[in-house]
């Protein structure tokens, strides 16, 4: 099994979508590549300053079976649910933590993601970062599989419900 981290705006929607993709073994909602040491407080402070998640991108850690799927296929699926031209914004979610990205500790994963982007006709317009994973922090339990447990919160997600479950059997 292999791991890759995909960021596509709100992690609830990305996790709800990607966990049903063939070849995905497990998912975990979290944050990638931030600058601060994380704490339990995940929200912006009452005075508007950022908290210990400064610089992190909301992401989903994906364990996948490379005999069934590939980084290229996972990228194709990610592009089904994101606006790849948007910087720090997906749907109504705005801010650095909602940037799109692909992160991995495996250089081959990053090279494959870059090849996928380069192969697209719109490659010059794509605002997706492809970077080595430097830090990862799992989200609190309330964020794990959130839309499965609380489907009434779907109105907070930019991905249409039918698309979220496109691959659900």
Active site members = 10
DSSP string over the chain: -EEEEEEESSHHHHHHHHTTSTTEEEEEEEEES-SSPP-S--SPPTTS---TTTTPEEEEEEEE-TTT--HHHHHHHHHHHS-TT-SSEETTEESGGG-EEEEES-HHHHHHHHHHHHHSTTGGG---EEEE---EEEPPGGGTTHHHH-GGGGGG-SS-HHHHTTT--
């Amino acid at each position: 099994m292999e791991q890759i981290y995909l960021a596509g705006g709100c992690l609830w929607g990305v996790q709800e979508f990607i966990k049903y993709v063939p070849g995905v073994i497990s998912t975990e909602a979290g944050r990638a590549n931030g600058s601060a040491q994380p704490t339990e407080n995940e929200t912006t402070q009452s005075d508007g300053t950022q908290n210990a998640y400064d610089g992190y991108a909301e992401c989903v850690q994906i364990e996948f079976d490379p005999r069934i799927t590939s980084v290229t296929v996972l990228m194709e699926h990610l592009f089904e649910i994101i606006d790849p031209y948007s910087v720090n914004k997906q749907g109504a979610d705005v801010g650095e933590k909602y940037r799109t990205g692909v992160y991995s500790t495996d250089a081959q994963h990053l090279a494959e993601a870059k090849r996928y982007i380069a192969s697209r006709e719109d490659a010059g317009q794509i605002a997706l970062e492809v970077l080595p994973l430097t830090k990862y922090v799992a989200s609190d339990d309330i964020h794990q599989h959130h839309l499965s447990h609380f489907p009434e919160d779907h109105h907070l997600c930019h991905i249409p419900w039918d698309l979220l479950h496109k691959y659900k059997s």
